[in-house]
């Protein structure tokens, strides 16, 4: 809610969750207080306008700037009828309606009632038409999504009195007097506030006399100061509760009863069949909403965990794919090496079963290579069926001469017969000559050119 300029007060900081109490006893005026879980006053507000209770409540709730966790509403004599009952057990709606009718109130056809105990066997009861307060509760619940707790002001005052004490609230043209005799039924009066101190003293004295006297007099409300002055000479034990301070501003005395309602542990609430059903329905709806929120939050956490696990799994799979690719490459290389090793072993096995031709020629050919001029290179040497073919190359200005020397070495070499050669040809690239020499190989031991060992 946005702050309403028609309401005054002190707003809370940080939107705390609080118990909010509204004082809707007077027409065109509302007072509100907000108390946190530790009983500290966090905000207060008031508004004076010719509007309905729900509109006024909306103004002050916007001013408070809190999150209501419970809404309590104080109702006065204009809405609720109050009487005293003597009963051993808690009086039911029928007994309450009869007691109110006995006090001269109009009979209630469909009452909403509340009660609080006084002296043993006595009760103070309150009642009103249920439909009237049910409509008010419905309007207020639309503002905060909470079912309000409706409390009669005089029952709240009695609930907070100790035996033998009396409470007096003055201000705004009304005087409320509630007494709790230790051995008699509770007594309450709602009067038009007298205009002078003498009238206050007289009305208070009459109530005290009717209640059998009181040793402790609790003064509250905006008129507490005037009441204290008027009763100062009566020899009574007067008590005024200091108002708490919120953000440097003291709570006005007219908010005192709303403040006490917010602090009450279990105020006597009005109840009826439809009010109770509505309260239970709202409680179930709230619990369902909380459960839905928890379920959504839990689902979000689970989805987040699943997404995180899926991301980690994808990363692990990507890493595993890279590892598998590297491993596959290594396996392929190992397979290739294994195939080569098998081929080498096969060749070795084949070579081991064969007799090399002309085993005695290896050394003579190596000797010829050593005797050949250093400037002559052997480019190609083939031996096929006892026929040798050698391609030689030489470079430089003396290439022709070097090739002639190499041929002479071959002619003198053992194991070579029928030596012949082609004409030298130019070598590419670069200046040089190439020449092919052919000869027949014979075993130097027996001169056999067949190639047999």
Above 70 in pLDDT, residue 182? yes
pLDDT at 196: 67
Above 50 in pLDDT, residue 154? yes
CATH number at residue 13: 3.30.420.380
Place of tokens 């039924």: 185
Above 60 in pLDDT, residue 4? no
pLDDT at 400: 86
Above 90 in pLDDT, residue 70? yes
- Residues 152 and 55 grouped into a single domain: yes
pLDDT (tens digit per residue) in 308-347: 888 888 888 888 888 888 888 888 888 888 888 888 788 7
Q: In the listed set 240, 261, 281, which residue is the last one of a domain according to the structure?
A: 240
Q: Answer whether residue 276 is part of any domain.
A: no
- Residues 78 and 117 grouped into a single domain: yes
Above 80 in pLDDT, residue 443? no
pLDDT at 453: 34
- Residues 146 and 42 grouped into a single domain: yes
Above 90 in pLDDT, residue 351? no
- Residues 365 and 382 grouped into a single domain: yes
Instruction: Indicate the pTM of the whole model.
Output: 0.64
Which has the higher per-residue pLDDT, 219 or 446?
A: 219
pLDDT at 446: 47
Above 80 in pLDDT, residue 268? yes
Above 80 in pLDDT, residue 372? no
- Residues 231 and 245 grouped into a single domain: no
Window from 125-129, 151-155, 250-254, 291-295 with minimum mean pLDDT: 291-295
pLDDT (tens digit per residue) in 373-419: 878 888 888 888 778 888 888 887 888 888 888 888 888 877 778 88
Q: In the listed set 199, 220, 240, which residue is the last one of a domain according to the structure?
A: 240
Q: What percent of the chain has pLDDT over 70?
A: 89
Instruction: Taking residues 244-267, report their average pLDDT.
Output: 92
Number of domains in the chain: 4
Q: Answer whether residue 325 is part of any domain.
A: yes
Q: Answer whether residue 427 is part of any domain.
A: yes
Highest mean pLDDT out of 34-43, 372-381, 398-407, 430-439: 34-43
Q: Answer whether residue 282 is part of any domain.
A: no
Longest dimension (CA), the chain: 165
Q: Quickly state the pLDDT bin for 17 (edges 50, 70, 90).
A: very high
pLDDT (tens digit per residue) in 88-124: 899 999 999 999 999 888 898 889 999 999 989 999 9
- Residues 42 and 102 grouped into a single domain: yes
CATH number at residue 417: 3.30.1360.100
- Residues 301 and 348 grouped into a single domain: yes
- Residues 108 and 197 grouped into a single domain: no
CATH number at residue 230: 3.30.420.40
Q: Answer whether residue 451 is part of any domain.
A: no
- Residues 314 and 369 grouped into a single domain: no
Q: In the listed set 313, 328, 354, which residue is the last one of a domain according to the structure?
A: 354
- Residues 310 and 422 grouped into a single domain: no
Domain housing 139: 7-159+241-271
pLDDT at 356: 52
- Residues 53 and 143 grouped into a single domain: yes
Q: Answer whether residue 194 is part of any domain.
A: yes
pLDDT at 429: 65
Q: Answer whether residue 314 is part of any domain.
A: yes
pLDDT at 451: 39
Above 80 in pLDDT, residue 367? no
Phi, psi dihedral angles at 418 (to 5 degrees): 55, 45
Q: Answer whether residue 120 is part of any domain.
A: yes
Instruction: Taking residues 255-260, report their average pLDDT.
Output: 94
Instruction: Taking residues 254-258, report their average pLDDT.
Output: 93
- Residues 169 and 154 grouped into a single domain: no
């Amino acid at each position: 809610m946005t702050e309403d300029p028609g309401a005054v007060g002190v707003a809370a900081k940080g939107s705390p969750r609080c118990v909010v109490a509204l004082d809707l006893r007077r027409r065109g005026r509302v007072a509100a207080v907000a108390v946190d879980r530790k009983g500290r006053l966090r905000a207060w507000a008031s508004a004076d306008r010719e509007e309905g209770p729900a509109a006024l409540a909306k103004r002050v709730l916007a001013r408070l700037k809190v999150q209501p966790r419970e809404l309590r509403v104080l109702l006065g004599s204009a809405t609720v009828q109050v009487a005293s009952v003597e009963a051993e057990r808690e009086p039911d709606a029928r007994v309450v309606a009869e007691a109110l009718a006995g006090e001269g109130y109009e009979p209630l056809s469909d009452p909403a009632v509340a009660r609080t105990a006084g002296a043993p066997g006595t009760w103070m009861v309150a009642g009103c038409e249920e439909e009237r307060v049910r409509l008010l509760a419905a309007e207020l619940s639309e503002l905060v999504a909470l079912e309000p707790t409706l409390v009669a002001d005089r029952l709240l005052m009695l609930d907070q009195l100790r035996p033998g004490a009396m409470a007096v609230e003055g201000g705004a043209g009304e005087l409320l007097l509630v007494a709790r005799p230790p051995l008699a039924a509770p007594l309450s009066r709602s009067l038009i506030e007298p205009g002078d101190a003498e009238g206050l003293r007289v009305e208070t004295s009459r109530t005290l006399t009717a209640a059998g006297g009181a040793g402790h007099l609790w003064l509250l409300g905006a008129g507490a100061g005037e009441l204290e002055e008027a009763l100062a000479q009566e020899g009574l034990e007067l008590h005024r509760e200091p108002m708490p301070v919120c953000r440097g501003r003291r709570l006005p005395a007219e908010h005192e009863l709303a403040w006490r309602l917010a602090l009450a542990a279990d105020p006597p609430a009005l109840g009826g069949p439809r009010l109770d059903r509505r309260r239970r329905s709202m409680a179930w709806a709230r619990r369902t909403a909380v459960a839905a929120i928890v379920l959504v939050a839990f689902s979000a956490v689970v989805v987040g965990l699943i997404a995180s696990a899926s991301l980690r799994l994808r990363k692990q799979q990507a890493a595993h794919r890279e590892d598998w690719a590297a491993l596959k490459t290594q396996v392929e290389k190992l397979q290739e090496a294994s195939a080569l090793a098998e081929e080498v072993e096969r060749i070795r096995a084949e070579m081991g079963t064969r007799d090399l031709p002309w085993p005695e020629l290896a050394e003579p050919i190596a000797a010829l290579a050593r005797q050949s001029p250093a400037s002559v290179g052997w480019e190609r040497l083939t031996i096929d069926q006892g026929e040798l073919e050698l391609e030689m190359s030489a470079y430089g200005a003396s290439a022709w001469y070097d090739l002639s020397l190499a041929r002479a070495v071959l002619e003198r070499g053992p194991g070579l017969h029928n030596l012949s050669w082609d004409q030298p040809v130019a070598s590419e690239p670069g200046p040089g000559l190439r020449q092919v020499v052919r000869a027949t190989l014979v075993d130097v031991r027996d001169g056999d050119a067949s190639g047999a060992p």
